[in-house]
Amino acid sequence: NAGVTQTPKFQVLKTGQSMTLQCAQDMNHEYMSWYRQDPGMGLRLIHYSVGAGITDQGEVPNGYNVSRSTTEDFPLRLLSAAPSQTSVYFCASSFDRVTDTQYFGPGTRLTVL
Amino acid sequence: GDSVTQMEGPVTLSEEAFLTINCTYTATGYPSLFWYVQYPGEGLQLLLKATKADDKGSNKGFEATYRKETTSFHLEKGSVQVSDSAVYFCALLKGAQKLVFGQGTRLTINP
């Protein structure tokens, strides 16, 4: 198994540009999430999904869209990038909703100029 | 709302020293508690977890006990190694996929 994969690893955008961060998992996990990591703030939940076709907002959803058309994929879209979205983004997945481990991807480092 | 507070870092220790990283939480109910570790340039990996009061999670010589009375989940290791240098995150899980993280503690072990 490849686990949780994310692309790209690094990205630089200009303010106002759009892009999609890709996340895929091959573990048949129902639950997937997106987090952003900022210095001194730990990780904060952006959006999550409890299964194909079902998504919900986390702590910091503004400026981001998600969809979940398949179990495997959970892309994160930035429609109009802003410098405040400069961060490291992590995707995670888990099998069980309550007590199971979340498996994290390697991250995407995004810089918005 | 739910929150997790970790001791301020960075923490620098010598090899074979005893390690404690404090973690306290605020939550309604009884969340599952986790310690994640992030090595340089990598994503987060689960280090250990506990799902109910008085449970002790352990892995790679690290231990943490779920203390409901003090709402704490302190991480300990008896003898640290250089390879333990990383950032450590305490977290709680409330509901589906909702991990709430502390701010992280950077640990550096000198030989």
C-alpha–C-alpha distance, residues A67 and A56, integer Å: 10
pLDDT at B97: 66
Pick from A87, A91, A99 the residue to mutate for testing the B interface (most B CBs within 10 Å): A99
Residues B100 and B3: beta-carbon distance below 8 Å:
yes
User: Percentage of residues in chain B with pLDDT exceeding 90?
Assistant: 78
**Residue among B4, B44, B102 minimizing CB distance to A90:** B44
Task: Pick the residue from chain A with its C-alpha nearest to B51.
Answer: A99
pLDDT at B6: 93
The whole-number average pLDDT for the span A21-35 is 94
Chain B CB contacts of A32 below 8 Å: 97
Pick from B92, B99, B105 the residue to mutate for testing the A interface (most A CBs within 10 Å): B99
pLDDT at A113: 96
Which residue shows structure tokens 């079902």? A54
Task: Pick the residue from chain B with its C-alpha nearest to A31.
Answer: B97
Per-residue pLDDT band for B96 (boundaries 50, 70, 90) equals low
Q: Is the pLDDT of residue A97 over 70?
A: no
Q: What is the pLDDT of residues B67-94, one digit of tens each?
A: 999 999 999 999 999 999 999 999 998 7
The whole-number average pLDDT for the span A94-105 is 78
What single-letter DSSP state applies at residue A15?
T
Restricting to B residues 34-73, those with a Cβ less than 8 Å away from any Cβ of A are 36, 42-46, 49, 51
pLDDT at B99: 87
Chain center to CA of A40: 19
Pair type for strands A108-112 and A10-13: parallel
Structure tokens belonging to residue B83: 């390879």
| CB contact (8 A) between residue A104 and residue B45 | yes
Q: Give how far B36 is from chain A: nearest CA, Å.
A: 10
**Residue among B46, B89, B98 minimizing CB distance to A42:** B89
pLDDT at B29: 83
Helix, coil or strand: residue A83: helix
| CB contact (8 A) between residue A42 and residue B42 | no
Q: Give how far A40 is from chain B: nearest CA, Å.
A: 5
Which residue shows structure tokens 């573990």? A27
C-alpha–C-alpha distance, residues B34 and B37, integer Å: 10
pLDDT at A99: 55
Q: Give how far B96 is from chain A: nearest CA, Å.
A: 5
Query: Any chain B CB within 8 A of the CB of A60?
Result: no
